[in-house]
Chains A and B, each alone.
Chain A
């Protein structure tokens, strides 16, 4: 699966980007920017999961279900087992969301288009309702999370950023290996022609189920890292429908062309939101919405398509 993966251009670009980002963020950038990178990279994992589904023409309006589930799994593991280690937190969030995704996948794999999207939303709203009512989970106030540790040592913001970037690299490289595989290529094949895939001897539902679980794991991992970065989980900022909406928003804004796209998109989103809130605290959503409209109208392939154009133009100039 991982044969020659580090010769892959996308993987090389991803690793270079992460190294440059982490080094510059820890050496020269202010703390608020570091925070934006932390949140952007964490959320980018969930967007990567949505991008995988999108490549099969599936849009989930309820991925906050796994995002929140991963976050609450981290909070509960601390409350009941005292777990603060970032590696364990990430693993717990991924596994918890993966198990939930595996179970719900049996239902969702049968649906397509708007039915898939709305059913996902319905499941996420059920979890939201349960969390908002559950007093032992802090109800609408949520739960606080203590700072993460690594092998017993407390992590500074810079180290947390490095570790999250490391998780992102490992995960995104694995996803790229998956996309390069035969199973990954079925992604496009299924969106093209489900009947043909079945008659080639592979179960479309099985392929979608696998992909859905991967996507859930990514969203869970994202939620776990976000919880560790924020130090707080609550239903409104983790599971509510607007969180799912934001993830879909970033997916469209990023484009589905590359594994790096979701992380760039998620970081850009954090900055747009920060500046929009700074300039127009009462109408920041209008700026964010306007940005999405501009991207849909002028760059339907998302931010990645713009970067690709710039890169290709640069290559042409070099050839001349």
Chain B
């Protein structure tokens, strides 16, 4: 594995009761690279993300992260080693405020063992959370209960919760799904510029080709559980197979 590669997936397969959801996937992600994963519904994009982050165990194959084999890792262990994710449907604590959500994420990232018994209200953690809320432009909503907020704010919160531990790689599952057309570029501008500042590698699943073209360094296209194209955006989006099976033209 080259020293520049942070994540490498080799011959990864996943089947559910005989139905193949992922077939011989081979992908490597470089440090600081932004990769878009595209494909029609059911193409295997989320299965791929779920296998890398430990939500699903692969049937066979190998996942290496910073040179270590992490195949079949538990989700919480993936987080500990710096492999984090956000979700298609924002996974946040709906009955808490925005700040409380982020403070829980930050506390778990910074504390372990007996330190978890220290009071939750901590000035240092609170200040760090304020910085992140500022970076993700959700500071104005910090005292509002999440259930009262728009999908766009929830998405930003979901992503900001995933990055508090300074991950090496972050996987964003459809970061603009359910978000209004007016909000989507604003959200992606905030997220990508924040992640570029920390040099985090980003893999994001996306249906919106405008977003893909604008933000990614590389596109991986999925069709029926297989990778049909892995190339820079212009090349990938003009690829015949991608046009036929993904874009549907």
- Contacts A189-B93, A189-B104 known; 6 new A-B pairs at CB < 8 A: A3-B119, A177-B117, A182-B116, A182-B117, A195-B87, A200-B109
The complex places the Cα of A188 from the Cα of B97 at a distance, in Å, of: 12
The complex places the Cα of A182 from the Cα of B113 at a distance, in Å, of: 11
29 contacting pairs across A/B (C-beta < 8 A): A3-B118, A180-B119, A180-B120, A181-B116, A181-B119, A182-B118, A183-B116, A183-B117, A184-B120, A186-B104, A188-B95, A188-B96, A192-B93, A192-B94, A192-B96, A193-B93, A193-B94, A195-B87, A196-B93, A196-B161, A198-B75, A198-B76, A199-B78, A200-B76, A200-B79, A200-B105, A200-B109, A201-B76, A201-B108
The complex places the Cα of A183 from the Cα of B105 at a distance, in Å, of: 12
Residues of B with C-beta under 8 A to A201: 76, 79-80, 108-109, 165
Does residue A203 face the partner (Cβ distance < 8 Å to B)? yes
Instruction: Name B's A-contacting residues (CB within 8 A).
Output: 53, 74-76, 78-80, 84-85, 87, 91-96, 100, 104-105, 107-109, 111, 115-121, 161-162, 165
Does residue A88 face the partner (Cβ distance < 8 Å to B)? no
| 4 nearest A-B residue pairs (beta carbon) | A201-B79, A192-B93, A196-B91, A182-B107
Closest to A203 in B: B76
A193-213 vs B: 1/0 string, CB under 8 Å?
A: 101101111110000000000
Closest to B103 in A: A185
| Given A188-B95, A189-B93, A199-B162, A178 and B76 contact (CB-CB distance below 8 Å) | no
The complex places the Cα of A189 from the Cα of B93 at a distance, in Å, of: 6
Choose among A1, A188, A193 the residue that contacts B91 (Cβ–Cβ < 8 A).
Answer: A193
The complex places the Cα of A202 from the Cα of B75 at a distance, in Å, of: 9
Does residue A113 face the partner (Cβ distance < 8 Å to B)? no
Choose among B75, B111, B119, B121 the residue that contacts A199 (Cβ–Cβ < 8 A).
Answer: B75
Choose among B84, B92, B96, B108 the residue that contacts A202 (Cβ–Cβ < 8 A).
Answer: B108
B161 nearest CB across to chain A (Å)? 7
Does residue A278 face the partner (Cβ distance < 8 Å to B)? no
Q: Are B116 and A199 in contact (CB under 8 A)?
A: no
Q: Are B109 and A182 in contact (CB under 8 A)?
A: no
Residues of B with C-beta under 8 A to A193: 91-94
The complex places the Cα of A182 from the Cα of B118 at a distance, in Å, of: 7
Residues of A with C-beta under 8 A to B118: 1, 3, 181-182
The complex places the Cα of A186 from the Cα of B84 at a distance, in Å, of: 19
Q: Are A200 and B96 in contact (CB under 8 A)?
A: no
The complex places the Cα of A128 from the Cα of B84 at a distance, in Å, of: 47
Residues of A with C-beta under 8 A to B108: 182, 200-202
The complex places the Cα of A202 from the Cα of B121 at a distance, in Å, of: 19
B113 nearest CB across to chain A (Å)? 10
The complex places the Cα of A177 from the Cα of B114 at a distance, in Å, of: 13
The complex places the Cα of A178 from the Cα of B119 at a distance, in Å, of: 8
Residues of B with C-beta under 8 A to A178: 117
Closest to A8 in B: B119
A261 nearest CB across to chain B (Å)? 19
The complex places the Cα of A202 from the Cα of B106 at a distance, in Å, of: 12
Closest to A204 in B: B76
The complex places the Cα of A180 from the Cα of B94 at a distance, in Å, of: 19
Residues of B with C-beta under 8 A to A192: 93-96
Residues of B with C-beta under 8 A to A182: 104, 107-108, 111, 115-118, 120
A window 67-126: CB within 8 A of B = none
